[in-house]
Amino acid sequence: MIDKTTFDNRTALFHTFGCKLNFAETSTVARMFAEKGVRRITPGETPDFIVINSCSVTDLADKKCRQAIRSLNRRFPDAAIIVTGCYAQLKSDEVASLPGVQIVAGIDRKLELCDFVEKWSADHQPLSLVGDVRDIRSFMPSCSRGDRTRYFLKVQDGCDYWCTYCTIPKARGRSRSGSIDMIVSQAREVAADGGKEIVITGVNIGDFGKGRDDNFLDLIRELDKVDGIERYRISSIEPNLLTDEIIEFVAGSRRFMPHFHIPLQSGSDEVLKLMRRHYDTATFAGKIEKIRHIIPDAFIGVDLIVGARGETDECFAESKAFIEGLDISRLHVFTYSERPGTRALEIDHIVSQEEKHRRTRQMLAVSERKLDDFTRRFTGTVRPVLLEHPRAGHPLSGFTDNYLKVEIEGIDAAKAKTLDNTIAMVKLGEPIAERESIKATLKI
């Protein structure tokens, strides 16, 4: 049993880096602390505990984590810093050496953080509790509310793909997932809490159910039956796991939104082979064509890595031409970052930093054109928008079913408050390029 005096009247600051999955997990940890009597700090307060859920997807991510730890230690020198997440799993000794860090917990130990705090409180001796990621078999359920209206529901964790550029399998372990009953139960809790939209998250969500008799299609069919949830969005899903059946199900569902996020990583088949991806460009193009054929208005976001080892000038030109020919909505462009211990380091051709940044700028320009073209298709049309109560000084805003951000004109603060977390029909106007949003008016 945990001694509640360890926690009563204590405060905590929670800081999350990285993906939506990390945010969902931090939310679960914060609820566990709250159940023990630890509340989040308010502005001007000093925390007793600082919990950092770290990311290690790039060298820059590691650097940002280190900088945050040092900065928070300078601001709050008496607070006990607790670090978990991918950076803690991959580089536990490095994390433990940073100032103020008292507890380092592995990727699978997040639900035990309260126990670790109790143990640390007995003698204030630093703890490092990081095991071999290959031994992880358990699934940690998590669901969080975003800063606006969306909830992020974790359905799967880990990855078995071992792409040559990626450290996620080393940080997160093998692919594993929750049961359909468990996840549907969490969706029902979101509905009971008044939630309208759920984003389905994980490391490789299309791998849901691996090793069992059910799969991702079975899961979304059951989630579609949950009363009270108006919208689901499927986060990043591998193109080889995005089956025609899943696309057709989304096309016919009222609750699953016309919105896909699909990692491509390169438009060059040669580079895809070097990356050890599980598809080629013909397969990827076929997925886009299938979506556009049966869901013409769908938003399609695509992940792209530029400047990877092996991406020659010819390969980059091929990749750029392929992407320019795809009917997609926008790119999420990532500049390749060397990661220690990855097989990509065995590939000979290295792209200079200057050339990486040049290619990144080119692909960002392609993305801007794609987004502008897609957005302008809908000028003058009416679409449903889940409205969000604005922050001070900002207009009422929200997202259409097909993930276009809109800003509603002519709504005062009092009216905006009553519209928060409601779905309204909105007429779309002209794009606001600098904010990647659209002017719009309510159709009441």
Where residue 322 sits, what CATH number does that domain have? 3.30.750.200
Q: The tokens 């030109």 sit on which residue?
A: 317
Q: What CA–CA distance (Å, rounded) separates 363 from 305? A: 10
Q: What CA–CA distance (Å, rounded) separates 103 from 116? A: 8
Which token pair is 112? 């035990």
**18 and 101 belong to one structural domain:** yes
Say if 25 falls within a structural domain. Answer: yes
Phi, psi of 358 (to 5 degrees): -65, -45
**pLDDT attached to residue 4:** 45
The answer to whether residues 51 and 40 touch, using CB atoms and an 8 Å cutoff, is no
Residue that terminates a domain, selected from 111, 131, 151: 131
CATH code for position 97: 3.40.50.280
Say if 208 falls within a structural domain. Answer: yes
Say if 263 falls within a structural domain. Answer: no
Beta-bridge mates of residue 153: 143, 200
The alpha carbon of residue 287 and the mean position of all alpha carbons in its chain are separated, in whole angstroms, by 22
Q: What is the pLDDT along the chain (444 residues), one digit of tens a residue?
A: 334 457 778 999 999 998 888 888 888 899 899 999 999 998 889 999 999 999 988 888 899 999 999 999 999 999 999 999 999 999 999 999 999 999 999 988 998 999 999 999 989 999 999 988 888 888 988 888 765 678 999 999 999 999 999 988 888 999 999 999 999 999 999 999 999 999 999 999 999 999 999 999 999 999 999 999 999 999 999 999 999 999 999 999 999 999 999 999 999 999 999 999 999 999 999 999 999 999 999 999 999 999 999 999 999 999 999 999 999 999 999 999 998 889 999 999 999 999 999 999 999 999 999 999 999 999 999 999 999 877 777 788 999 999 999 999 788 878 888 898 999 999 999 988 778 889 988 885
Helix axes 281-294, 244-252, angle to 10 degrees: 20
What are all long-range contacts of 215-220, with beta carbons under 8 Å and residues at least 24 apart? 216/241, 216/246, 217/243, 217/245, 217/246, 217/249, 218/180, 219/155, 219/180, 219/183, 220/246, 220/249, 220/250, 220/253, 220/256
**8 and 124 belong to one structural domain:** yes
**386 and 361 belong to one structural domain:** no
Phi, psi of 238 (to 5 degrees): -60, 140
Say if 398 falls within a structural domain. Answer: yes
Say if 276 falls within a structural domain. Answer: yes
The answer to whether residues 52 and 81 touch, using CB atoms and an 8 Å cutoff, is yes
Residue that terminates a domain, selected from 377, 397, 419: 377
**pLDDT attached to residue 7:** 77
Strands 405-408 and 396-400: antiparallel
Burial of 332 (0-12, 13-18, 19+ CB in 10 A): middle
Q: The tokens 């949830």 sit on which residue?
A: 229
The alpha carbon of residue 333 and the mean position of all alpha carbons in its chain are separated, in whole angstroms, by 15
**115 and 230 belong to one structural domain:** no
The alpha carbon of residue 133 and the mean position of all alpha carbons in its chain are separated, in whole angstroms, by 21
**362 and 401 belong to one structural domain:** no
CATH code for position 187: 3.30.750.210
- CA distances (Å), 166 to each of 5, 332, 342, in order? 43, 17, 7
Q: What letters, b where the CB count within 10 A reaches 16 and e where it falls short, cover 297-327?
A: bbbbbbebbbbbbbbeeebbebbbebbeebe
**98 and 202 belong to one structural domain:** no
Say if 427 falls within a structural domain. Answer: yes
Burial of 351 (0-12, 13-18, 19+ CB in 10 A): buried
**321 and 237 belong to one structural domain:** no
- Split into its structural domains, the chain has a count of 4
Q: The tokens 């405060």 sit on which residue?
A: 11
8-state DSSP, 4: G
**57 and 92 belong to one structural domain:** yes
Q: What CA–CA distance (Å, rounded) separates 160 from 80? A: 35
**117 and 203 belong to one structural domain:** no
Closest CA to 169 of 233, 76, 89, 274: 89
Q: Which residues contact 83 (CB under 8 A, 6 or more apart)?
A: 52, 54, 65, 69, 95, 98, 101, 103, 104, 105
Closest CA to 390 of 42, 194, 147: 147
CATH code for position 414: 2.40.50
Q: What CA–CA distance (Å, rounded) separates 373 from 331? A: 13
**283 and 306 belong to one structural domain:** yes
**288 and 251 belong to one structural domain:** no
**pLDDT attached to residue 5:** 56
Q: The tokens 């040559």 sit on which residue?
A: 164
Q: What is the residue range of 82's domain?
A: 4-131
Q: What CA–CA distance (Å, rounded) separates 196 from 261? A: 20
Residue that terminates a domain, selected from 257, 278, 296: 257
Q: Where are the beta strands (DSSP E) in 307-412?
A: 330-335, 382-388, 396-400, 405-408
Say if 55 falls within a structural domain. Answer: yes
**pLDDT attached to residue 395:** 85
Q: The tokens 């000979």 sit on which residue?
A: 348
404: amino acid identity, one letter:
L
**145 and 43 belong to one structural domain:** no
Say if 422 falls within a structural domain. Answer: yes
Please give the model's pTM, rounded to 2 decimal places. Answer: 0.89
